[in-house]
Amino acid sequence: MQTDNEKELLKELAHLIKKERIAQGRTRDALAEVVNLSTRAIEEFETRYTNIGASKLINILIALHIDFNEVKALAKRHMNEEMSEKINNLGKYWDG
């Protein structure tokens, strides 16, 4: 099961990918063909933020020439938020 931060990260990545795909004038069909996914899988990722798997996600990032440092920064921010949330939740048990 995905945490809220993992879901939010996927959502932000989907928005980034869709924005870049449109900016490059690529259709979902064209992107799907390049990364060996169905058009429906691309659509569901972009609209419902379904998890398409790391290798497919990397293939999309490469195909769209998205700077991986931008993706790393997003992931790092969400990891930090996730860790803070977990620490706060643990604190509830220690505080009584």
pLDDT single digits (tens) 32-78: 999 999 999 999 999 999 999 999 999 999 999 999 999 999 889 88
Q: Quick one: average pLDDT of 79-89? A: 81
pLDDT of residue 20: 97
- The pLDDT of residue 3 is 80
| Mean pLDDT of all residues belonging to the chain | 90
Query: How many percent of the chain have pLDDT more than 70?
Result: 94
Q: Where are the domains of the chain?
A: 4-94
- What mean pLDDT comes out for the span 73-94? 80
Topology at the third CATH level for domain 4-94: 434 Repressor (Amino-terminal Domain) (1.10.260)
Whose CA is closest to 39, among 11, 67, 60, 62?
60
74 CB-near residues (< 8 Å, 6+ apart): 9, 12, 13, 16
